[in-house]
Structure 1
């Protein structure tokens, strides 16, 4: 599902937007341009969030919750918020930069969760 929605956002953003606004109306041109830019970031967000959610859920199934929670707090607040502030307020990216920063935080969390999942046997995180 995550890949399908990401592909739709990347391959047919104007079609998706046309469900909400008239994309051919000149009055909406600026908004459509912004929306298409945001949809590119949202597509990446979809893919990475799917990985993060599955990895976190798998770790929960092994009763491993404390360190994954710390990973999430760290990833969203340090690189995520830091990149959002830097890209959103100190570059011309503005709002898209904020969302890119949030995606960076999500990538960090997904990578940490996936790394922990891949090392579950070494860490003794086996089903009871």
Structure 2
């Protein structure tokens, strides 16, 4: 046994999605939307692959740790986990955007381009908050 974690998709359960009935007894997706029925029934995933796609980065990291352990010993994944833990706790002030480039470099995400890199990027936001109020809220003073 090599000790590698499984990357097979594990779906929670298949459920039928029922939309709330509209005026004529027919499900009205335009009025209620798909998200309303999903939230009312407590569905976790719509498709069996959705669960694995959400956990993709964690699965890749587990595979990397397992390969490091098998090739270099237990010290290599432990050192990398400690570095990731230390880097993930470092933060800037709440009013400043942080790119988390060190965390991306350690986890191997620095050479990937995903939707979160160019859609809804907080660095492109035109709204700037008040630094003192944001820091007081972060510390629990407000």
TM, length-normalised to structure 1? 0.35
TM-score normalised according to structure 2 size: 0.33
Name whichever structure is richer in helix by fraction. Answer: 1
